[in-house]
Amino acid sequence: MARYGEYYARTLEAEKNLSADDYTEDNKRKKKRTQGEIDLPFLMITMIILGIGLIMLLSASFARAYYESGNPTKYFVKQVFFSALGIFAMMVISRLNVNFISRFSFLLLGASLLLLAAVPFIGMDEGGARRWINLGITTFQPSELAKIAVILSFATLSCRFKEKMKTFKYGVLPFAVILGIIVGLLMLEPHISASIIILAIGAVMMYLGGTRLKWFVMLGIIAAAGGFLVLTKFGYAIDRIKIWKDPFSDPLGDGFQIIQSLYAIGSGGLLGVGLGQSRQKYMYLPEEHNDYIFSVVCEELGYIGAMLVLILFALLIIRGYWIALHAKDRYSMMVAAGTTTLLFLQVFLNVAVVTNLIPCTGISMPFFSYGGSALVLQLAEMGIILGISREIPIKRAG
């Protein structure tokens, strides 16, 4: 800690005369000077995970694709296309200055809110919920956009409020209002898992932005109370908790999905049943190419393979935080750390759900789960981090 502190104190000397508001102009001026190489380890790990993700998507999806349409590579081909699109987006965004991107923070937030407000009306009905907007070639969840909008706008606000972040009026209220509106709109869809992620990422951004910890304690208490109320008053939630505690209490009904997932993961054992050899993907696992793709990874590649994937994710996340810690300014640091945390939240919640660590909800696995717009956005987010990595001040030797 101390060493990083010193390091930062030193690297930030260059900006000693700049206020947060001056970043943009300053960077425009320094662009040529400071834009270095993108962070190769972060890019490499991203590409490796994406590669493994594509292979596993092919393996996980071909059975269902075959039975649905007769074309076993239906999902895979689409995913490859969107991977290419995502990589392109990632490389373009990595060239953009993060402070340039920050200009669009509120525009993005506003667009997200508008889309979220529109989704209950124009979205596709899927099992009683409207979460998706059909774009023709693919579908798109406005909640995905809201996540990155929250990161960018919260970072911008934090940097603008400066020390006022310590107060309730600035440090909590505006953020809480924004989150409240977003979650309120998400409840209309309804979309619980996205709400959880947005609340979590919002809290993390506030935490990074300097909101005092006591508010988190208070928020935590309120959340716990609210959660308790929901769990005891709403039958739907109680059922979820019951299934979570004992999936076998209703093996053919509500417990079916999680049991099938556990069967898949458990049958993997240490070394797995072999790539492509999953048996649970043959219509037993629901959403095996989507939310439950990690179960197929566990079944086919075993504990070793699953851990390898998780270690790659851990390395990517740690490297993301490393980039944040080395970012040229506080705004970049917050955006990088926030984006990295978003990635973490998705990975963790997905694994936690498919392994029944937490009650079942629908969260996809970054780079693995099938989904065009989500994949492009995830890669674009990686592009933002890579863009920040470019601007890490070159450390002088010695």
For residue 312, what are the CA distances in angstroms to 32, 50, 125?
33, 11, 36
**What span, in angstroms and rounded, lies between the C-alpha atoms of 304 and 268?**
10
Q: Does 283 bind another protein (CB under 8 A)?
A: yes
Binder among 101, 151, 197, 265 for another protein (CB under 8 A):
265
Of residues 86, 123, 142, 268, which one binds another protein by CB under 8 A? Answer: 268
Which of 167, 317, 361, 362 binds another protein (CB under 8 A)? It is: 317
- 69 counts as binding another protein under rule CB under 8 A: no
Element (H, E) at 132: strand 129-134
Which of 10, 95 has the CB closer to another protein? 10
d(C-alpha 355, C-alpha 368), whole Å: 16
Binding another protein (rule: CB under 8 A), the pick from 30, 190, 325, 362 is 325
Nearest to 263 by CA among 248, 250, 275: 248
Distance CA 35, CA 393 (A): 9
Question: Which residues ranging from 146 to 165 are in contact with another protein (CB under 8 A)?
Answer: 162-163
Region binding another protein by CB under 8 A among candidate stretches 82-90, 180-188, 191-199, 321-329: 321-329
Structure tokens at 95: 């060239």
> Using CB under 8 A, which of 87, 186, 197, 351 touches another protein?
351
Burial 258-281 (b: 16+ CB within 10 A, else e): bbbbbbbbebbeeebbeeeebebb
Q: Is 277 in the site for another protein (CB under 8 A)?
A: yes
Beta carbons within 10 angstroms of residue 106's beta carbon: 14
The single residue among 81, 100, 244, 263 that binds another protein, judged by CB under 8 A, is 263
Q: Which residues contact 276 (CB under 8 A, 6 or more apart)?
A: 59, 300
In the complex, the smallest distance separating the C-beta of residue 211 from another protein, rounded to whole angstroms, is: 10
What region does 268 belong to: left with phi over 0, alpha with psi -120 to 50, or beta? alpha
Residues 187 to 246 in contact with another protein, rule: CB under 8 A? 204, 207-210
Which position among 17, 32, 235, 246 is part of the footprint of another protein (CB under 8 A)? 17
Please report, as residue ranges, which positions from 87 to 146 form the binding site for another protein (by CB under 8 A). Answer: none
What are the residues facing 129 on neighbouring strands? 126
Query: For residues 114 and 149, is the Cβ–Cβ distance under 8 A?
Result: no
Bond before 190 cis per omega within 30 degrees? yes
Binding site for another protein (CB under 8 A): 1, 4-5, 8-9, 12, 15-17, 19-20, 62-63, 66-67, 72, 162-163, 204, 207-210, 252, 256, 259, 262-270, 276-280, 282-284, 298, 302-303, 306-307, 310-311, 313-314, 317-318, 321, 324-325, 330, 333-334, 337, 340-341, 344-345, 348, 351-352, 355, 357
